[in-house]
Structure 1
């Protein structure tokens, strides 16, 4: 069985994402219609379902550091830093974030990101891979990769096709990729989202990722 091929219906990632999308759709339906997606993409929402979004009257404001092409759908683009967004409290019905909090920087940035997620809407949905799971989905070809020292990870990225983007020949870029991917633990997630309910995505008896929800 493949581990992380989203197009392979037998892969672990495909099966988990299918279950996650079903849970997400139910969560969205009961919590409102205006969504702010911190660091997301329109391709992600197409997987969730354009017809689902349109038929149920959802709007999705996607926040990223740089402006991105959104294409067809109920999407709006907002350029900004998801760790500090210049909007009033409860500007939306739902905050959504999928595999982003582990990319925003150090602990101060992670804490700020969580604060914005809790502030911008009455309901939130935040998913992230679990640091204690032996495979980081960003580098799924190399088990235990994220537990190695940063210097070792940087070296491996320059030598082998481990990252989703393939081999990284530029050493500075490889170092940046390593520094910009910091998985969090379940204990840290509970500290960041003390008012959340937590859903575990499991594989082989281990928690592969966490979903924190309020609402």
Structure 2
């Protein structure tokens, strides 16, 4: 029940739902023409757009999970590809979109080199962008909902991932927990600015504290 109240973005009244609603309001303030835009969503899924407050004219999602291709529907195209690749496959490789969008993906791509490839894709494919990632120094780690987890030694983070019941990442055996911990690298404001030097970095706050970062242009 506590997990649902805090972390379920589809549940009205949850903290996650309230945060997502505020983020959508800011997105629409920055891009009021979103309903007419062609949007490239790096790391997203068609399902995530079905419940969106506003549907763009066209959405193309890029995700490594082949199951996302089954979720496509009119107006939403699912491409199974690596958002950190040198370019997108097929007809999308030469296209530019009105907006490149990404939500809580940059911290998962795997190290500085891969993050640089990801941002190269953002700049190459879009006229504008909105790239969100959780802030490293928010006191509660957002994937596990565990206070200060990101600052613990690696071994301690693995132990938490094995047994902690809250958050978005399921409890798992040691091998899977090691993989899950390895796949999350939260970013600081300085790092975000280094990847998006010409962008405005909007700091999303919760209870007055910086909670996530958005590079927008």
TM bracket, shorter-chain basis: 0.7 to 0.9
Give the superposed CA RMSD. 2.1
User: TM-score, normalised to structure 2's length?
Assistant: 0.86
Which structure 2 residues correspond to residues 39-58 of structure 1 after superposition, within 5 A? 39-49=43-53, 52-53=54-55, 58=57
Unaligned 5+ segments in structure 1 are none
- Which piece of structure 1 moves more, 89-98 or 177-186? 89-98
1:30 and 2:33 matched: yes
After superposition, give the CA deviation of every residue in 1:159-213 in whole Å (9 maximum; x if it has no partner).
Answer: 3324424321x21111111011111011110111001112111112210001111
- Report the count of equivalent residues: 207
Distance 1:23 1:103 in 2: 24
Give the 5 Å matches for 1:97-176: 97-140=102-145, 142-168=146-172, 170-176=173-179
Q: Which runs of 5+ in 2 are unaligned?
A: none
**TM superposition shift of 1:8:** 4.1
User: Contact conserved, 2:162 with 2:177, CA < 8 A, in 1?
Assistant: yes
Which range is displaced more, 24-33 or 57-66? 24-33
TM-score (norm: length of structure 1)? 0.87
Of 14, 31, 42, which residue of structure 2 is paired with 1:11?
14
Separation of aligned partners in 2, 1:164 and 1:175: 16
Q: CA deviation at 1:33?
A: 1.4
* Alignment partner, residue 177 of structure 1: 180
Superposed CA deviations along residues 80-119 of structure 1, whole A, max 9, x for unmatched, are 1101123546621110100000000011111111121122
SS at match of 1:138: coil
Secondary structure at 2:140 match in 1? coil
